[in-house]
A and B are shown apart, each in its own frame.
Chain A
Amino acid sequence: GAGVSQSPSNKVTEKGKDVELRCDPISGHTALYWYRQSLGQGLEFLIYFQGNSAPDKSGLPSDRFSAERTGGSVSTLTIQRTQQEDSAVYLCASSLALGSSGYTFGSGTRLTVV
C-alpha cells in the first residue's frame, strides 16, 4: 500500500480481555517496529522485526505482550489479559533496512482498557 495501515484506529476493551492490533507495512519494507505512546509521552520501543531474523523483543513490557509478523508483511501485536496501564496509543512503523531510512508510521491504534 501507499502507507502504513493500522487497525483498528480505536479499541475499547474490558480489563482482562485479550486484544489484537494489526499493522500492514509499506510493501518492500523489510523492517517493522511497534512502539507504545502513553498520553502526552514519548515513544516506548516494544518490538522490532527485520526480514527473516529473530525479532528483537527486548522492549516488550511483560509476557502478556507478544507479536508476530507473517510472511514478512503484516504484523499483529497481541496483548493478553489487558490491564488499565496498557491504555495507550500503539504505533507501528516500517522502513527499509538501511540506517539512513527514516520510519514511515501508521496512524496508530488508541487502546483504552476500562
Chain B
Amino acid sequence: AQTVTQSQPEMSVQEAETVTLSCTYDTSESDYYLFWYKQPPSRQMILVIRQEAYKQQNATENRFSVNFQKAAKSFSLKISDSQLGDAAMYFCAYRRDNNDMRFGAGTRLTVKP
C-alpha cells in the first residue's frame, strides 16, 4: 500500500522568508501524481501544486515550488516570500491512475509577522 509521510507536524516561518515542507512517500509504481493541498482554518482544502512523476522538471506555481526527487521518493514544498495568508495545514498527497488519493498527516505552518 502506498503511504505518505510528513515528518514535520509543525513549522514556523517569518513573513517574507522561505520555508520548505517535507514529504516522502512509498510506492512501487513508476507512474503516479503528487499534490500539495492547503487547508486554512475555514477547512476548505485548496490545491496548491501538482507534479506528474514522469516529468523531471519541478512544478512551480508563483511563490510555490516543489523539489521532486523520484529516486528518493521525496516531494518537498518550498514557499517563497511567505505571507500571513499562507498560514494553514499543508497536506502532501499521492495518487496513482484513477485510484483514490492518499494523504500525509499534515504540517501546520505558522507565519510570524
Contacts and interface: CB of A to CB of B under 8 A. Distances in A.
Given A99-B96, A99-B99, A93 B104 contact: no
Interface size class for chain B?
Answer: 20 to 34
Interface stretch (A12-20, A37-45, A71-79): A37-45
Given A42-B91, A108-B43, A100 B33 contact: yes
Interface stretch (B12-20, B45-53, B71-79): B45-53
Nearest to A53: B98
B32 interface: yes
Contacts of A110: 43
Grouping DSSP codes into helix (H, G, I), strand (E, B) and loop, the B interface class, with mixed when no group exceeds half, is loop
Contact of A45 (B44, B91, B100): B100
Given A99-B32, A102-B35, A33 B44 contact: no
Contacts of A99: 31-33, 95-99
A3 to B, nearest CB: 9
A105 interface: yes
Contacts of B97: 99
B45 A45 contact: no
Contacts of B98: 31, 50, 97-99
A89 interface: yes
B45 A91 contact: yes
Nearest to B36: A102
B42 interface: yes
A43 B47 contact: no
25 contacts: A33-B100, A41-B105, A41-B106, A43-B91, A43-B103, A45-B100, A45-B102, A48-B99, A48-B100, A91-B45, A99-B32, A99-B33, A99-B96, A99-B99, A100-B52, A102-B35, A102-B37, A103-B45, A105-B44, A105-B45, A105-B46, A107-B42, A107-B43, A107-B44, A110-B43
